[in-house]
Amino acid sequence: MKELSSENYLTNLFQFTNDLIHILDMEGRIQKVNPSWLNNLGYTLEEVKYKSIYDFIDANDRDLYKAYRKDVINGINTGCIEFTLISKDKLKIPVDGQVNNIFSGSGIFYTQAILRNITEKKETEKKNLEIQNRLTRFFQYAPDAVIVIDENQMITEWNLKAEIIFGYTYQEVHQQPLNEFIIPPAYRAAHIQGMKRFLTSGEGPVLNKTIEITAIRKDGKEFPVSLSISNIKIDNKWLFIAFISDISERKNMEESLILKQAELLQSQLMDKRKTDFLTVASHELKTPLTSIKAYTQVALNMVKKSSDEQLVSFLSKIDNQSSKLNHLVTELTDLSRIDLIRMDINKTTVNLGAFITDVVSSLQPIIQQHTIELKNIVSIELEMDTIRIEQVLINLINNAAKFSPAGNPIEISTALNNEFLIISVKDYGIGVPAKNQERLFDRYYRVTEISNHVSGFGIGLYIASEIVKQHGGNINVRSELNQGSVFSFTLPVQKV
Ligand code: ADP
């Protein structure tokens, strides 16, 4: 094989390289150009030989090239230059490269430029810049904080929302390491580790998912955020885009919800304890009370025959009082049943007239200071739990008696419309102030100004309303202070 002489070698290089080479004389006239130069600009050698190089340089770059070449000739500038050539078709061809001096053997001075066509590189750069600009515009007004960092965790984007959430302006953080701004010290090492791991192994467990974590504001305050990180490769380099929203408010709400639920559970527990206590207490009270009442009645019957008046009167009082006590204990038992939603309703069909007459005749002997009058009692057959509805009537009639002066009558009336039977108990007593009426059917509610001297727990009306509700009716009151009250409840009428 023939050895390549250095001259041959240079000629080969000149002929076949992709670089654009031109050699100019001192005046800037083209002496030589290589095939690549001609190809890139679309000329033949004849068309360019001895022409001024400036005819082929973009008008905007001519001065630049001239100054640069002058510096090279004067031995000042040995760096690179980037400028634009113009092709025969008037296309701009961006190039970069270097110019250097050559001396021919005959002492003539030339400059030689070796240039690279950078059209493609320029286009990629332009495209990347466009993407970058588009991203910037897109992120700037996003509803979340958007932060972009590069592979060295330097902040490159920081939108308006990030400024608002974190308190730093774009100028303060641009090209600064993210770690020092918003990441709490406890997470900093993990953050750097995670970045390193991704860049070396491609593993990024936090990428492309949403996590909840804390961040730090400029004022040093740590607060909860939701964070999603995406990664994109631009120009062969990774960028990491973090979308962050402040979730302090949501967290606060969640916390107060949990607190409320805990309070509710606590109060349900207390209620359950109270109910358990009521169940046990009323049972314990009921047993001795039943035997007191039984013995009193037996004793009463025995002494009635021997007609000892004082003893009869004492025993009657004991009997009366134990009836009252019995009523109260029944209320307590009912209350615990209602709380446990255990009140069973056993409906039977009764004749309304007969039913009300029965209830009144058993009550009248106990309520001796009032006359119970029946008015307009409609005669229909009705389905109801007689024990429960009797209880409602007894409660209402007892209240009418308790809260009206002796001697005033108590009136019981009924009315019928298409769907409901209405039963009303009317008294001419102290009445209920308008402001208290709404709460009368609440558990334990008593109108303190008027009921303090009258025995009761404030649960009779509550139980009555529960029983009525369970029958599918409702209960209400009309009352005027010092005039009296009407308590009415409805029961649905079954259509035959
Ligand atoms: P209690 O009678 O045991 O206090 P209730 O639930 O039966 O409990 O009644 C609640 C409150 O409603 C009573 O304390 C009283 O203040 C008021 N009230 C009930 N009925 C009447 C009435 N007929 N007249 C005036 N006030 C009444």
pLDDT digits (tens, 9 = 90+) for 439-470: 999 887 888 766 666 767 788 898 899 899 99
User: Ligand 1 center to residue 456 CA distance, Å?
Assistant: 8
Task: Output the pLDDT for position 336.
Answer: 66
Q: What whole-number percentage of the chain has pLDDT above 90?
A: 52
Q: Which of 425, 446, 450, 481 to mutate to test the pocket of ligand 1 (most atoms within 8 A of CB)?
A: 446
Contact residues of ligand 1, CB 6 A cut-off: 395, 399-400, 403, 427, 429-432, 440, 445-447, 450-451, 456-462, 485
∠ CA 253-254-259, nearest 5°, is 95
Helix (H, G, I), strand (E, B) or coil at 208: coil
Given the CA of residue 458, which atom of ligand 1 is nearest to it? 8
Cα distance between residue 9 and residue 215, in whole Å: 64
Cα distance between residue 342 and residue 458, in whole Å: 20
Kindly report the protein residue whose alpha carbon is nearest to atom 14 of ligand 1.
Answer: 446
Q: How many CA atoms lie within 13 A of 434 on its CB side?
A: 0
Confidence of residue 273 (pLDDT cuts 50, 70, 90): confident
Closest CA to 446 of 433, 431, 457: 457
Distance of CA 363 to the CA centre of its chain: 58
Given the CA of residue 395, which atom of ligand 1 is nearest to it? 7
- Please, are residues 158 and 150 in contact by the beta-carbon 8 Å criterion? no
Residue 309 pLDDT > 70, yes or no?
yes
For residue 221, which amino acid is it? Answer: K
Least reliable range by pLDDT among 88-97, 261-270, 424-433: 261-270
State the DSSP code for 3: P
Given the CA of residue 463, which atom of ligand 1 is nearest to it? 6
- Please, are residues 226 and 244 in contact by the beta-carbon 8 Å criterion? yes
Cα distance between residue 213 and residue 206, in whole Å: 12
Task: Output the pLDDT for position 449.
Answer: 66
Given the CA of residue 445, which atom of ligand 1 is nearest to it? 10
Residue 257 vs residue 303, higher pLDDT:
257
Closest CA to 89 of 44, 50, 41: 41
- Residue 183 has φ and ψ, to the nearest 5°, of -90, 125
Residue 30 vs residue 232, higher pLDDT:
30
Residue 1 pLDDT > 50, yes or no?
no
Closest CA to 424 of 382, 476, 461: 476
Scanning the structure block, which residue is given the tokens 């106990």? Answer: 366
Q: What whole-number percentage of the chain has pLDDT above 70?
A: 95
Least reliable range by pLDDT among 32-36, 101-105, 349-353, 369-373: 101-105
For 394-443, how does the pLDDT look when each residue is reduced to its tens digit (9 = 90+)?
999 999 999 999 999 999 999 998 889 999 999 999 999 999 999 999 88
Task: Output the pLDDT for position 248.
Answer: 92
Cα distance between residue 71 and residue 371, in whole Å: 129
Given the CA of residue 427, which atom of ligand 1 is nearest to it? 23
Closest CA to 55 of 26, 90, 21: 90
Query: What value does the mean pLDDT of the chain take?
Result: 87
User: Ligand 1 center to residue 387 CA distance, Å?
Assistant: 21
Kindly report the protein residue whose alpha carbon is nearest to atom 25 of ligand 1.
Answer: 431
User: Ligand 1 center to residue 390 CA distance, Å?
Assistant: 17
Cα distance between residue 111 and residue 26, in whole Å: 7
User: Ligand 1 center to residue 471 CA distance, Å?
Assistant: 22
Report the DSSP pairing between strands 372-375 and 210-216.
unpaired
For 330-373, how does the pLDDT look when each residue is reduced to its tens digit (9 = 90+)?
777 777 666 545 567 889 999 999 999 999 988 888 888 999 99
Cα distance between residue 395 and residue 402, in whole Å: 10
Task: Output the pLDDT for position 136.
Answer: 74
Largest CA distance in the chain: 167
Q: How many CA atoms lie within 13 A of 311 on its CB side?
A: 12
For 138-165, how does the pLDDT look when each residue is reduced to its tens digit (9 = 90+)?
777 788 999 999 999 999 989 999 999 9
Structure tokens at 399: 């209240």
Q: What is the mean pLDDT of residues 307-322?
A: 81
91-124 burial, b at 16+ Cβ within 10 Å, e below that, comes to eebbbebbbeeeeeeeeeeebbbbbbbbeeebee
Checking 237-240 for CB contacts under 8 A at 24+ apart, the result is 237/150, 237/151, 238/150, 238/151, 238/198, 238/199, 239/148, 239/149, 239/150, 239/156, 240/148, 240/149, 240/150, 240/195
Confidence of residue 244 (pLDDT cuts 50, 70, 90): very high
User: Ligand 1 center to residue 458 CA distance, Å?
Assistant: 7
For 57-89, how does the pLDDT look when each residue is reduced to its tens digit (9 = 90+)?
999 999 999 999 999 988 887 789 999 999 999
User: Ligand 1 center to residue 493 CA distance, Å?
Assistant: 28
Q: Where are the beta strands (DSSP E) in 107-163?
A: 109-117, 145-149, 155-158
Distance of CA 16 to the CA centre of its chain: 69
Strand partners, 453: none
Least reliable range by pLDDT among 115-124, 132-141, 155-164, 166-175: 132-141
Confidence of residue 270 (pLDDT cuts 50, 70, 90): confident
- Please, are residues 87 and 93 in contact by the beta-carbon 8 Å criterion? yes
Task: Output the pLDDT for position 377.
Answer: 93
Task: Output the pLDDT for position 342.
Answer: 58
Given the CA of residue 487, which atom of ligand 1 is nearest to it? 23
Helices (H), 146-214: 160-166, 170-173, 185-201
Task: Output the pLDDT for position 365.
Answer: 81
Cα distance between residue 250 and residue 247, in whole Å: 5
